[in-house]
A and B are shown apart, each in its own frame.
Chain A
Amino acid sequence: MAVSLETEDGAAVPREPAGKNDLEKLEVELLLEGIFRHYGFDFRAYAYSSLRRRLWKRIDAEGLGSVSALQNAVLHDPPVMERLLRDLSVNVTAMFRDPTFYVAFRNQVIPLLRTYPFIRIWHAGCSTGEEVFSMAILLTEEGLYDRCRIYATDINDIVLRQAKQRIFPLERMQEYTDNYIKAGGKRSFSEYYTAMYEGALFSPALLKNVVFSQHNLVTDGSFAEFNVVLCRNVLIYFDKSLQGKVHKLFYDSLSNFGLLCLGSKESLKFTRFEHCYEDISLREKIYRKVL
């Protein structure tokens, strides 16, 4: 019988008796195959360590005892699939996460974008939208927003609906304000939102050039040509083969001299696209397509 050291605050430290790893791997493979064939979501090439944690969190939350029991629940009870999809796709981000990235974007990318009459940006894996709003604010302050269209996509329709509501927890505004200042913000951060009850309602002007749309990086193809592709801390959930596939998708979706922005601990190193880009900021993982 599998046991899991789940704590009240979600510190899932799943464990199986030693020697059971292979059996659990088989169960996970069957579950992912079932989800793919029944629902079309393909998690089969996700990085195992994080996938496993999330599966066990859901197993515990549903009061189940094994991966196979979760498989049974997911296939027969669509609401369980919906909850699992949320567990597997939601990542916890912040407005102006990694402020130094936004400083580099302001200083090194904005001057390049100024030369374009119209700028198409793809924000892939935007989750609940914190970083989309951050970019909209930055572009507004640089006087470029009216020339931009941001296509913000995620595999999960629920988080997109949440992003469109423009409401974020009031309790995080202090942190976001600090990030905004460190990111080189030019105004007072509170100009962008109105406090109401527990929430901060952000200005509708920030979304006027944003199009939210469901898109699955694993199974869907390219849908336009972009000047900028932002995909920060999303590919970390994929294994190396899938990362390679998605890098091909990004490469195909970028115009010549288009910019690719990854998370600060992600890299094009060891991918076959490494030589197709030049570094704009090595530290902040901003690359420009040159081949």
Chain B
Amino acid sequence: MFFDLIVVGVSWGGLDALTTMVRGLPPGFDVPVVIVQHRGPDAESILSELLQHWTERKIGEPEDKEPIRTGHIYIAPANYHLLIEEGHFSLSTEAPVRYSRPSIDVMFGSACYAYGERLIGVVLTGANEDGSRGLQCVHEYGGYCVVQDPATAEIATMPAAALRRVPTAAMIPLAGIANHIVDVAKNGPPEKSMRAMA
């Protein structure tokens, strides 16, 4: 594998988008996935259950200092920032960032510091601009950036903002995102695999 971790940020329209993405990850592909979905402060953890329906991988909300395990999908708990360190999670109750806790920018920012170029960042549908700074950070640390094609997003604001900050990100329609991620994780980013072929 060319990548050790996949981070995903999503807001409005997230349930459908995440369902499509999670269903598309084939059995046997076990790079851990960490998701920030914006939601209210005391939202129950029903999102995990809804997504669990579609996959064999274990989906859950991490506890503080929980190790990041292969084959797992993690969802940031409501009312905390989720931070990523090398190999494990940390939580924080620092102030919301742009009205969001969890914040996509905060999670991505910590992940790119810990994982550098071994990280894939994905920004999906949403009605605000969270995630764009975080994705820029992923890009600057040498990670691989994917943005949902805004034309396929329930709300285009968030992916459009991410593309403005990272114009070189791969813009992929929702239905193709899972395949693209799997391909890139297995074979390397398109430009690198082409170089290997030459």
Contact = CB atoms under 8 A, between A and B. Distances in A.
Interface string B49-75: 000000000000111110000000000
B90 A49 contact: yes
Interface residues of B, number: 41
Is chain B's interface secondary structure helix, strand, loop, or mixed overall?
mixed
Contact of B90 (A7, A9, A14, A50): A50
Given A18-B140, A265-B63, A13 B109 contact: yes
A7 B98 contact: yes
B137 A13 contact: yes
Is chain A's interface secondary structure helix, strand, loop, or mixed overall?
loop
B51 to A, nearest CB: 19
Contacts of B154: none
B64 A49 contact: no
B94 interface: yes
Interface in A24-52: 47-50, 52
A18 B141 contact: yes
A100 B117 CA distance: 40
Nearest to A285: B63
Interface residues of A, number: 41
B92 interface: yes
A215 interface: no
B64 A235 contact: yes
A58 interface: no
B149 interface: no
A267 interface: yes
A267 B63 contact: yes
Contact of B98 (A11, A54, A182): A11
Interface stretch (A64-72, A90-98, A110-118): A90-98
B47 to A, nearest CB: 15
Given A236-B64, A265-B64, A270-B65, A18 B93 contact: no
Contact of A265 (B61, B112, B117, B133): B61
Nearest to B103: A11
Interface of A: 5, 7, 9-15, 17-18, 21, 47-50, 52-54, 91-94, 97-100, 182, 233, 235-237, 240, 243, 263-267, 269-270
19 contacts: A7-B133, A10-B97, A11-B106, A13-B136, A15-B137, A15-B141, A21-B113, A49-B85, A49-B90, A49-B113, A53-B92, A91-B93, A93-B93, A94-B41, A100-B42, A233-B91, A236-B92, A263-B91, A265-B64
